[in-house]
A and B are shown apart, each in its own frame.
Chain A
């Protein structure tokens, strides 16, 4: 059976070139980058180069690039570290209803220690309402956070405008760019955010490493104490091999970004077109224009997402589901509910996320199998019958 990977928003394979580049830093150049002897200096040099590479790509200064264990840590650190650094100014934070659980979890933590958090809603396409954002700003607002691109429905937010709104009012602005970094050539100076998180494994780098960009001049409290690494902000022995891998993966990503973007977008659009033409009661979630090229998130009416996921799995196709059943809770995706998808329909949602390793043949195979699966599950669904009877009346 062929295997088709359509879950690139979850993670991606590490490129062989990236593995190659990392290998010397496990048992060859194994020194602690903090050591003063030549073993350490060699490791430090590789770490500096990795930081420089990443800084250059996002147009930051190397001293603004902090390595973390990944996106979740970077999100937590940004939210809590910035809020804590500015709490003498105020304790009000603004974020959106569709953030990644890492940001929402950090917000809950902040609420527990006396911060107040406002969650801005989004329109039916998942784009935040800037007027609403402005109206929520108070004299004690110290931090605004809004993700660059959504992980479930792929919607890209008006980040430059939000950065401008924040800057004019002297409020810190953080963006979670985990889903955006693999597909958008982000220039931090041009966009003007104060902090930004991104994760290596979303762009064919290794898992377990990410970056928090912190603009020089922005205050942020350290979350991991006890070491002088990362300019004393994030203690812990530097993971040189992973940093080298992350930098190489991002460098390679940028070399072919334009053509890869166009190719993946073409595949995705072809998939969306076929699904919309050939499968009734299938609804694309998210914005059609302001959207990452890799994402197609569909709600299939009358059936449940996890059943679709496992049926595709049995055919060798890997996708992910916004259904409650796959997460272990009884509530469907907070993102789909926030864009106004009805609960029952939200339960029937599947995220397909494409990558440059996918082919048109794979897309065709997927749609063919998907059609069969949807028909089979609908034939099994009591809602489908009820609904078709309602339609007859």
Chain B
């Protein structure tokens, strides 16, 4: 059901963990639905210099977390806000239809982490 790219991202996920002294955190989903995603980011000069994730969820949730964090590292906050779930799915070369909601979680977690950072900056 999953393509090789998704399985590879699930097997060897990048950016697993939580950044110490992170600048922003986003947690989305809930355990009763079977999906929780937490993304922490480190921001320097308006650029995401590091991003890490922790995920409770299926293989697609892990793969999209890994891919989404990988995509936003090195992006400005404005660029990162434009990372949509569709773009994450494209990088993974597709997800089964019932798994699309996992990629939505990744997009939301990043947006929330950026919002959290900005609110802490008082902007």
Contact = CB atoms under 8 A, between A and B. Distances in A.
Contact of A310 (B10, B31, B38, B54): B10
B61 A304 contact: yes
B94 interface: no
Interface in B1-58: 2, 7, 10-11, 13, 16, 18, 27, 31-38, 54-58
Instruction: Give the interface SS of chain B, mostly helix, strand, loop or mixed.
Output: mixed
B64 to A, nearest CB: 13
B57 A307 contact: yes
A172 to B, nearest CB: 38
B55 A330 contact: no
Which of B10, B27, B34 has the most A CB atoms < 10 Å from its CB? B34
Contact of A306 (B16, B27, B59): B59
Given A303-B56, A304-B61, A323 B34 contact: yes
Given A307-B62, A314-B11, A385-B18, A380 B34 contact: no
B16 A380 contact: yes
B98 interface: yes
B59 A381 contact: no
A220 to B, nearest CB: 37
Given A323-B34, A325-B34, A382-B36, A307 B16 contact: no
B110 to A, nearest CB: 15
A241 B58 CA distance: 41
B59 A382 contact: no
A385 B59 CA distance: 20
A382 B37 CA distance: 7
Contacts of B99: 325
Given A310-B7, A314-B11, A328-B98, A382 B56 contact: yes
Contacts of B32: 342-344
A379 interface: yes
B98 A383 contact: no
B98 to A, nearest CB: 4
A323 B34 CA distance: 8
Interface in A340-393: 342-344, 347, 379-383, 385
Contact of A332 (B34, B36, B54): B34
Contacts of A383: 31, 36, 56
A380 B36 contact: no
Nearest to B18: A385
B57 to A, nearest CB: 5
11 contacts: A302-B56, A303-B56, A304-B34, A304-B56, A307-B61, A310-B2, A314-B7, A325-B60, A328-B98, A380-B62, A382-B36
Interface of A: 302-304, 306-307, 310, 314, 323-326, 328, 330, 332, 342-344, 347, 379-383, 385
